[in-house]
Structure 1
């Protein structure tokens, strides 16, 4: 029997929702907007690519592509406490945001910051007074045992290109997170690339969190690299035998989003993978099979 995914709407604040972790096995997922997620288990609170500030609106004020929020952040960074690990997939500011990570790490002093080795120096610049002992720098092809019940498999990502620094460290990464009896893949920002399916299929992924805002020549010309389309993301899951997919990286910036109705229409007709679009105020619950179910 396979891992199951159920969803429920919560009416409380996200702060309150995070106070109620799942039982011993299983993972609760919450969307933060853009590529950001919280993974909550009985023992861990993992935050991935959080962008909870308006730093990009300030940076791009008066320029051709204003980064004004289409949705408010569902939680303030300084109230997201109890975090055990923060995972950052790459250096772009909607993923590695100093205005978010500085207060978040301050209220969770025991949290580790996992990030690409290629982005370590930049992280130290963006997060003042960050203690180096809290950093876990990683590169594609590595496996890191972050806790007795938490393993991270690091894979490549291609934010239109497979970029490496002078030391050969990949600038864009994805993470396969083995936790709570399930395997969750956060691709980071990526398009399909040669070798991607072979790299992922062997990892037996249960659920994938994939960007679906696509890409265009006009945005690329303005320095905005793109991601997979929804169709490409669904195809990747099918080719890698990933049962569940949650579509994200939409709805934050008007110049770089897709129509939610299109995602809903796709979700209505897809059964492999089972497709859902990320929504605020929603708990996505992944449950592994019990011992009895495994033996059936």
Structure 2
């Protein structure tokens, strides 16, 4: 049985960590995937950033109702993953405006792409998708967008995308059951201490860090994030997952 075929309680939601910033979600009648990086595209372009461990699942082996991309960097909008994904005709894709253009160029039907920038929202398959402010880490990704998903049973999750730290990020952050913050602290992204400050602002029931494990030169020890969560009173809410490990709430 594939991991995404595992049952989830009717009043529950579940996610699986795919490595880097990738997550797969299942709740009620809907499934979603966000930023799956299931190749070594970055390492092939820049060898020092090769994968530290093998791809946990092949892109052609996953299927989701909703496929979300937060911005057009190779480890978030991965051309190899998109090309190999076998359900482009059935899946609804969500992304910021520039990423939407890239998705279409990679064979995703235009009719299956919904643009959701920060401040926008859409409802797809009963899932409310809100674009949340993120401070893009480069001029090439000025439309970087975080996303909050609210499922039909009320369960919610907020994925920060890549983002730099600023007061507006804190001010714009929504409440959510689960917060998924970037923590690597390199190339403009939130560091562990900054991600803990965002956690305090969001006040989630659980916080699961990402963007720290796939590339040795762009990594962070997630225990550093747990330490800062403990310093701010959120240590018991911090969950660190292994690739393909399930978390249900």
Q: Shared fold by TM > 0.5?
A: yes
Q: How much does 1:18 deviate?
A: 1.4
Aligned residue for 2:49? Answer: 67
Matches within 5 A, 1:132-281: 132-147=110-125, 149-160=126-137, 170-179=142-151, 180-200=153-173, 203-215=174-186, 225-263=187-225, 265-266=227-228, 271-272=233-234, 274-281=237-244
Contact 1:263–1:277 (CA under 8 A) maintained in structure 2? no
What is the CA–CA distance in structure 2 between the aligned matches of 1:190 and 1:38, rounded to whole Å? 20
Number of aligned residue pairs: 247
Q: 1:245 to 1:261 in 2, by over 3 A?
A: closer
1:16-60, Cα deviation, whole Å (9 max, x unpaired)? 221113122221110000000000123122000000012222222
Report if aligned partners of 1:69, 1:252 keep a CA contact under 8 Å in 2: yes
Write the deviation string for residues 192-247 of structure 1: whole angstroms up to 9, x where unpaired: 223222222xx3312100110002xxxxxxxxx33111111111121232232101
2-side partners of 1:189 and 1:279: how far apart?
A: 20
Per the alignment, in what secondary structure is the counterpart of residue 255 of structure 1? Answer: helix
Q: Are residues 231 and 47 of structure 1, via their aligned partners in 2, closer, same or farther at CA, if it must alter by over 3 Å?
A: same
Cα–Cα, structure 1 residues 123 and 212, in superposed 2: closer, same or farther, change >3 Å?
same
Q: TM-score, normalised by structure 1?
A: 0.77
Deviation at 1:266, TM superposition (A): 4.8
SS in 2 for 1:277: coil
Task: Write the distance in 1 (CA, Å) between the matches of 2:66 and 2:6.
Answer: 18
Does 1:42 pair with 2:28?
yes
SS at match of 2:218: coil
Which entry has the higher C-alpha Rg, 1 or 2?
Answer: 1
> Unaligned stretches of 5+ in structure 2?
none
Higher relative contact order structure (alpha carbons within 8 Å, sequence separation ≥ 6): 1
Residues 21 and 28 of structure 1 are in contact (CA less than 8 Å); yes or no, is this contact kept in structure 2? no
Distance in 1 (alpha carbons) for counterparts of 2:229 and 2:52: 23
Give, in whole Å, the separation in 2 of the partners of 1:17 and 1:123: 26
Change (3 A) 1:156 1:265: closer
Distance 1:88 1:205 in 2: 19
Separation in structure 2 between the aligned mates of residue 33 and residue 52 of structure 1, nearest angstrom: 9
